[in-house]
Amino acid sequence: MINFEEEIEKFQPSPEIEQAEDVIYNNDLMDISDILKELIKEKE
Amino acid sequence: MVCPNCQKNISGNKKSCNHCGQDLTLYKKVLMASNMYYNNGLARAKVRDLSGAITALKKSLELNKANTDARNLLGLIYFEMGETVAALSEWVISKHFKPDDNDAERYINAVQENPTKLDGLNQAIKRYNNALVFAKQGSDDLATIQLKRVISLNPHFLRAYHLLALIYMKNQDKERAKKCLLKAAKIDVSNTTTLKYLRELEAQPSLTRSTETSSNIDNNQPSTIMPISSYREDKPNVMAFVNLVIGVIIGLSVSLFLLIPSIKNNEVSNKNKDVVDYSEKLAALEEKDTAIAKLQDEKAQLQLKLDALQQELDSIEEPNNNPQLYDPLFEASSLYMNELTKRERDRELLGIAEILSTIDTSQFESEESLQLYERLTQEIFPIVSDQLYDEGHDLYSAGKYEEALETLNMSYNYNSDNVDAIYFIARSYHRLEDYENARVYYEIVINDFSDSRRFNDAKQFLNSISED
């Protein structure tokens, strides 16, 4: 049985066009290569 | 391929970087895994498993953030789901990694080239956010209105369908909730939220009727399992073409049958009308000619009259130009006024009478002049006539019959009612043995003055003349 109150809390506001810049800058662009490089750096 | 360590291009299929010597074996495996996920995401996207595709493409990008194909496809999927900002973000990042020869640029331009459409998409997002606030506040009606508007602005906004379905479900409007979810399922067939809500609707035992309806709806959905009919090659349908040709021929025939007579009638009526018009115009022209001729005749007659009147006018002497016309009247009046100052027996009226007798009253235009003339003659002429009679009688008595006759005639002229003057004119002629004239004047006395004292004498003398 779905609880409306719980379910509605899962809905988040959709970013508007004016917020696109923030969305792009806040995007986590780290991939596995970046992680590996960091790991290699830490190992060295 | 770019070395992840020194960021330089590596040519060929080498296991290590030429520049920095970095071992690339693992890196190549990572790239291959990223591509594999991309392929998986692409395969899912093709069957509208958008949620699954998003998962695969995100995996692909976690392995290789520069996989522009995966990022572009992720942006397309976001755009298809109504997540415009997320889509644009992915395409912008994609362009950052690969500025040239990138489909992302085409996608961005396609969105930005239509500001109206972009504004509509942004409005949809804003209204969705408002609707979400209303829904969280419990204003379901307002939220429903906003969400319906959102869906009309962007029919692919998956989140709006979910929220609207949730509100319907809360309000026990299962039918509408299911319709929303089915629309959402058409956009993304494997969306977990859609499937969860649908299951929730089907699981409710009270929705027997709705489940029946849903089964009907499901039956109406295009099914992937279609009955296989026996193969039959399409043949060109000749009969349809023949029927078309026959229909056209019948149509033309009916048109000709119905239209030609009316067209001919119209032509004939037009010609008749033209003839009638021509005849009417001709008649009108003839009437005009007749009228012109008549008017010309009248004009000629009037011209003649005008000429005659002009001649008459020219022949008339204007009274103003003949001041002497009234002079005798004024003179007579003046003299008479002078005589009136004298005693009656001393008055000399004969000269005045002679002046008045010379006046031609026919040329008088003034009524007052005529009245003056009439008054003077009525007063003067009888007196003068009596005076002349007395003088003539004296001459008759003296035996001067010719002189008496002249004076008595003057007396008679001034007063034709002076019977004594008439009688002695007759007597004078009688004495002179001019019986013809004597008879005339005797008869005047007898006929016109039968009650006068001269009647009997005149009758006797007339008889004596007749006897002679």
Q: At B164, is the pLDDT very low, low, confident or very high (cuts 50, 70, 90)?
A: very high
Q: Look up the domain containing B388 and give its range.
A: 327-415
Whether residues B63 and B138 fall in one domain: no
Asked if the C-beta of B200 comes within 8 angstroms of chain A's C-beta atoms, the answer is yes
Q: Which residue has the higher pLDDT, B234 or A24?
A: A24
**Type of residue found at B241:** F
Is residue B352 domain-shared with residue B386, that is, in the same domain?
yes
| Most confidently predicted of B64-78, B202-216, B218-232 | B64-78
According to the model, what pLDDT value does residue B409 have?
92
Q: What digits encode the pLDDT tens for the residues B355-371?
A: 888 888 887 777 888 88
Give kind and range of the element (H or E) at residue B170. Answer: helix B158-170
Confidence band, pLDDT 50/70/90 cuts, at residue B215: very low
The strand pairing partners of B2, in sequence order, are B9
Chain A neighbors of B121, CB-CB under 8 A: 17
Domain-embedded: residue B341? yes
Nearest-Cα distance to chain B for A14, in Å, is 6
Q: In this complex, do B85 and A20 lie within 8 Å of one another by their Cβ atoms?
A: yes
Chain centroid to CA B144: how far? 52
Sign (positive/negative) of CA torsion B92, B93, B94, B99?
A: positive
**pLDDT for B315:** 74
B147 sits in which H/E element:
helix B140-153
Give the orientation angle of helix B401-414 with respect to helix B350-358, to 10 degrees: 60
- Is B27's Cβ below 8 Å from some Cβ in A? yes
State how many domains chain B has: 3
Is B11 a residue whose pLDDT tops 70? yes
What's chain A's average pLDDT?
84
Smallest CA–CA distance from A1 into chain B, residue: B200
Contact call for A8 and B166, based on CB within 8 A: yes
**Cβ distance of A14 and B83 shorter than 8 Å:** yes
Residues B58 and B35 sit within 8 Å (Cβ to Cβ): no
B164 and B196 assigned to the same domain: yes
Q: Look up the CATH number of the domain holding residue B182.
A: 1.25.40.10
pLDDT confidence bin for B7, thresholds 50/70/90:
confident
Residue B152 banded pLDDT, cuts 50, 70, 90: very high
Q: Does B196 touch chain A (CB under 8 A)?
A: yes
Of B170, B185, B201, which residue is a domain's last? B201
Instruction: Determine the pLDDT at residue B4.
Output: 74
Closest CA to B16 of B7, B32, B27, B29: B27
Does B334 fall in a domain?
yes
Position B393 in a domain: yes
Across the range A12-28, mean pLDDT stands at 86
**A25 in contact with chain B, both atoms CB, cutoff 8 A:** no
**Binary contact (A2, B26; C-beta < 8 A):** no
For the segment B389-418, the average pLDDT, to the nearest whole number, is: 92
Residue B226, pLDDT > 60, answer no
Report chain B's C-alpha Rg in angstroms: 72
Q: Write the CA distances from B315 to B216, B311, B365, B378, integer angstroms.
A: 125, 6, 16, 33
Question: For residue range B51-92, what is the model confidence (pLDDT) as tens digits?
Answer: 999 999 999 998 888 899 999 999 999 999 999 999 999 999
Phi and psi, residue B426, nearest 5° = -60, -40
Contact across the interface for A11 and B132, Cβ inside 8 Å: yes
Is B121 an interface residue toward A (CB < 8 Å)?
A: yes
What is the model's pLDDT at position B194? 92
Which among B444, B439, B398 is positioned nearest to B421, based on CA atoms? B444
Where does a domain end: B78, B113, B148?
B113
In a domain? residue B387: yes
CB-nearest partner of A14 from B5, B128, B196: B128
Select from B24, B57, B8 the least CA-distant residue to A37.
B24
Residue A26, min C-alpha distance to chain B (Å): 10
**pTM (2 decimals)?**
0.49
Task: Share the mean pLDDT of chain B.
Answer: 84
Partner-chain contact A8 B135, CB within 8 Å? yes
The mean pLDDT of B121-147, rounded to a whole number, is: 91
Tell me if B251 is assigned to some domain: no
Q: DSSP secondary structure string, B227-280?
A: PPPPP------HHHHHHHHHHHHHHHHHHHHHHHHHHHHHHHHHHHHHHHHHHH
Within an 8 Å CB–CB cutoff, is residue B264 touching chain A? Answer: no
Cα distance between the two ends of chain B: 188
B436 in any annotated domain: no
Considering the domain architecture, whether residues B96 and B173 belong to the same structural domain is answered as no
Is residue B232 situated within a structural domain? Answer: no
Asked if residue B94 belongs to a domain, the reply is: yes
| Cβ count near A9 (within 10 Å) | 10
* pLDDT value of position B272: 78
Q: Measured between CB atoms, which of B63, B125, B163 is closest to A11?
A: B163
| pLDDT grade for B316, boundaries at 50, 70 and 90 | low
Decide if B177 touches A, using CB distance below 8 A: no
Residue B21: exposure state from Cβ atoms within 10 A (0-12, 13-18, ≥19): exposed
Residue type, B184: A
The structural domains of chain A, with segments of one domain joined by +, span 13-43
CB B429 within 8 A of CB B438: yes
pLDDT computed for residue B209 by the predictor: 40
Determine the distance in angstroms separating the CA of A29 from the nearest CA of chain B, rounded to an integer. Answer: 6
